[in-house]
Structure formats: C-alpha cells, structure tokens
Amino acid sequence: MSGCIKSGEFDKDKDYFGDKATFTGARNVHVSYHKSYKVLTLGEQDRPAQTFVLLQCGAPKPALTGDLAKAPIIDVPVKRVAASSTTQIPVFHTLGALDSIVGVNQIEQIYRGPAREALEARHISSYGSSRMQIDTEKIISLKPDAVLAASSEVGEFKQVQSAGIPVLQDLDYLESTPLARAEWMKAYGILLNKEGAATKSFDSIAERYAEVAKKAKNAADKPSVLVGQETKGQWYVPGADSYMIKFMTDAGASDVMAQAVKGNGATPTDAEVVFKYGSKADFWLNGNYMSMTTWHGKDDALKQNPRYANLSAFKHGNVWNPSKRTAPDTGNDFWQSGIVQPDVVLADLTYIFHPDLMKGYTPYYYTKLS
C-alpha cells in the first residue's frame, strides 16, 4: 500500500501488504509480515541485530510483546529519509523514490549523473564533511522518518537516536556475494512499500548475471588475477569468501591470493608476500581503488610504487581499473551503482578475461591502464 489508511477505515482483518519480499542470498537482513505491520531485522548473522516495527501509515499501534515492545516503530511508506552512503542513492533511483531523500552525507561524493542532478535540483542538504564528521543537529532539523547509516557511523548518530529518529544500519557490505549485496535493494523496498518493484528489479539483475556467468563458465582457460594495491607496506587482499573473489570466479578467472586469505572481507597483508605470489598473475585489477587520484597511465602507477613495473600483468598491459565513470568533482560510480548492477560488473570482468566471449561489448565501469 503506497499511501496512508484514511481515518476510520482501518480493517484489522485486512492484509495491507499485498507485495512481500523474501531474501534468498542476503544473510544480514530479514523481514516478517503481519496484517498491518512488518518486522525488519538487520545484522542477525554477522552483527548484533537491530529490529524495527514498520507500521502501515494510519494503522493503530499493534499490541507488541517481548523484544518487539521495545523496538522503534517507523510508519511506512517512509517519506523522508537521510542517506549516509553513496551506495544507497542508486537504489532509491532504481525504485523511483529519490523524492524520499531529504538529506545526504556528502552530495559531492555522489557520481554526477541523473540521480545527483535530481537531488541538486531539489537543493538537498548535505549533513557531513566525512563519515566521521556529521552535523547531527542538521539531520534532526530535516525531520527524517529514518536515517540509513553505514555501520561504522551508527555510533555517530547517538544524538539523532536520542531525538527519537530511527537509525538503520546498512550492512550490504558484509554480504559475501555480489547478488547478495544487490538484494539489499529489497530492504529499501520494504521501507518504501515497494517490495514488488524491488523484487522485480533484483530478479532481472540476477537473471542477467546468470546469463553472463554461464558464458564465462564455458571459457577454455582461467587466467590468474591479482586484485588490489600496495599502501604503506600493506596490500589489502580480498578473502576467499569475499564478493570480489566471487566476481572473479564467476567471470572465469582465478585470484592468485584467494586461498591465502580467509573470510569475506579485505585483509591487510604484507606487500612482500603479495608481490611474490602475484608477480606472475595474468591480470591486475583494482590497483587504483584506494588512491585519492585516478591513474591516467602507467607513469601514475609507478609514481606510487616503482615495483609495480615488476608485475607480469603490468609488463604485458593487462592492468584494468574501475575508473571509467569518475571525475575530479564526483565520486566513483563503480562503488555506487556497481553495487546494484553486479550483472554489468560481471560483464565487464568477463570481457576483460575472455573478450572472445563478449564480442561487441564495451566495458561500462572498467578501463585499461595505458
């Protein structure tokens, strides 16, 4: 139901949520449905859970018991949202709900495209200069129905929570597969009463992803790949169960460090170890993702670390970075819309590793370092 129940028209026997969402891959979000409210749980697998009661607007408060009696209640569909992560913007854009966003952390970090232009046209407020510097009074003045926070920021929103504004953790980054991350769009659909649209969008993404993965599975070979970059003697290596390694596997490649690091996150590893095992990798990807400036050529990479010249992938011109959709005054769209377009990311990677399987394709996010 997209609107509120009119006064005097509440029916206790009516199911007000015709479209319902279910999660098939995401581990850190769960929803249960009741006649006039739904219960959204965030973080139940990898983090202490947050639970929220989402009450259909205009419905009377239900009789809640146990832990639910203490859970914050949010009227849905939400109409005013403060978004703390740039990854949230493409989801609202996809669901046709950008008008619900009344504040963002740093609008200058949003990729300059239709979504940012729409927000700027409405003079949307920025309430922070970084993730750790947030103007809580400004957020409170926006009177949002809810704040969507990157997990690391939740502690910064204590004052906002004390003002009675619910703060929801965005934990998509904890998911271990690209599709599980994208499936978090259903969580926003739940808040917006747009479960049908969110599910339809996700199902289309999953179908396209499967089609590309099927192509890559038929590849005659599996090239080796080195992922990441050196920073102050450390190399952040994606774990064997991480979404990035899943991308590589589904694109028909093999990460040279995948078995050396466990878990689903990126682990700082002695750069000497990585240079040793990664020196002969066929491809090197995402070498520029932690840099403040974009590499425009090999010279830029060598200025950061001359030892990159010893990498086989560097010597043979097989260095690719997801920097095609970025600019000095904007964020990198790969880390934004790429979260909800894993099918496109997979197509890029499959083209890089197996161009013969993707004839006529032009990479959307990735560009080759010249």
HEC assignment per residue over 62-103: CCCCHHHHHCCEEEECCCCEEECCCCHHHHHHHCCCHHHEEE
Q: Say what the pLDDT of residue 263 is.
A: 77
**228 and 318, same domain (yes or no):** yes
38: β partners: 33, 54
The CA distance from 55 to 64, in Å, is 12
**161 and 41, same domain (yes or no):** yes
Which amino acid, residue 308? Y
Name the pTM for this structure: 0.94
The CA distance from 341 to 322, in Å, is 13
Q: 136, 124 in Cβ contact below 8 A?
A: no
**125 and 189, same domain (yes or no):** yes
Domain total of the chain: 2
Question: How many other C-beta atoms are found inside a 10 Å radius of the C-beta of residue 239?
Answer: 19
Q: Say what the pLDDT of residue 130 is.
A: 58
Can you give the CATH number for the domain in which 97 is found?
A: 3.40.50.1980
Q: Say what the pLDDT of residue 68 is.
A: 95
Q: Say what the pLDDT of residue 259 is.
A: 74
Q: Say what the pLDDT of residue 129 is.
A: 66
For residue 5, tell me if it sits in a domain: no
Q: 41, 22 in Cβ contact below 8 A?
A: no
Q: Say what the pLDDT of residue 152 is.
A: 62
For 119, the domain range is 29-203
Q: Say what the pLDDT of residue 261 is.
A: 76
**Boundary residue ending a domain (172, 203, 234):** 203
**188 and 225, same domain (yes or no):** no
For residue 225, tell me if it sits in a domain: yes
Token representation of residue 179: 């599709």
The CA distance from 190 to 334, in Å, is 25
**128 and 252, same domain (yes or no):** no
**150 and 234, same domain (yes or no):** no
**193 and 224, same domain (yes or no):** no
- Cis peptide before 268, with omega less than 30 degrees from 0? no
3-state percent breakdown (helix, strand, coil) of the chain, nearest 5: 35, 20, 45
Q: Distances in Å between the alpha carbon of 325 and those of 107, 112, 193, 249? A: 16, 9, 31, 24
Q: Distances in Å between the alpha carbon of 25 and those of 46, 89, 197, 202, 339? A: 14, 22, 18, 11, 15
List all residues 6 or more positions away from 240 whose beta carbon is below 8 Å from its beta carbon: 258, 259, 261, 262, 263
The CA distance from 33 to 214, in Å, is 35
Place of tokens 């050529």: 297
**Torsion, CA 330, CA 157, CA 29, CA 173, rounded to 10:** 40
Which amino acid, residue 267? T
**322 and 357, same domain (yes or no):** yes
Q: Say what the pLDDT of residue 153 is.
A: 65
> Could you report the average pLDDT of every consecutive run of 10 residues in the chain (370 residues)?
88 96 96 98 80 98 94 97 94 96 90 88 82 83 94 77 94 94 98 98 99 95 94 89 94 88 83 92 87 78 92 96 83 92 99 97 96
